[in-house]
Amino acid sequence: MKDAEIHEAMAILTEAVRQWQTPAVTIVSQREGDPFKVLISCILSLRTQDRTTAAASARLFALADTPAELAALPVETVEQAIYPVGFYRVKAAQLGEISRTLLERYDGRVPDELDELLKLKGVGRKTANLVVTLGFGRPGICVDTHVHRICNRWGYVRTKTPEETERALRAKLPQEYWLVINDLLVTFGQNQCLPVSPRCSTCPLSHLCDRVGVARSR
């Protein structure tokens, strides 16, 4: 994919993903408009399918939807609420610690700066960028496995890690797409541009894609 073709690609993607379910964390951000809930649901979503994330988030927020309320819950109660998300015991402990940190260091508010978010236990660049973009509507690029894989498959970037992809996209991706690229590529990657045997024969972006690393497709 040539650099100038990104505008066409993003326009096509915007239309294509309308047929599929919006990612769970995005739904939380649209419905709640609360950076804390975006942060918590994003942590729950790691290594977890969207359907499970959505249900677990709803159960947990019915019990506690502020840092003070979540910090006050016994860890066993949090575990029961979020099960069966991936690594639910580890995440339950993390959520309690994050809530206490927010109360002790940030007056119960989620920070809106990437560097501050990265100080929270269990928060990596993907989660921090998602909170910045979805929680606060501020410029950031959230790169997960889908964004990393698809941008390299297109030939738009040539990187080896999500961190390298984030840096490359910050350097070349027009800023108008920073807030939406994660949503678009996560949805597209879950339904069309699959990790193994992507659906290239029906892909609306096939004429733009270099198909880097694609050995087998449908």
Helix ranges, the chain (H):
6-16, 24-32, 35-45, 50-63, 67-72, 75-82, 88-105, 114-117, 125-130, 136, 145-154, 162-172, 181-191
Mind telling me the catalytic residues?
126, 144
**Residue 47: C-alpha distances to residues 42, 104, 117, 217 (Å):** 10, 29, 20, 25
Instruction: Please state the φ and ψ torsions of residue 16, each to the nearest 5 degrees.
Output: -65, -40
Q: Identify which of 62, 97, 66, 98 has the alpha carbon closest to the alpha carbon of residue 80.
A: 62
Residue 174: is it exposed, middle or buried by C-beta count within 10 angstroms (0-12/13-18/19+)?
A: exposed
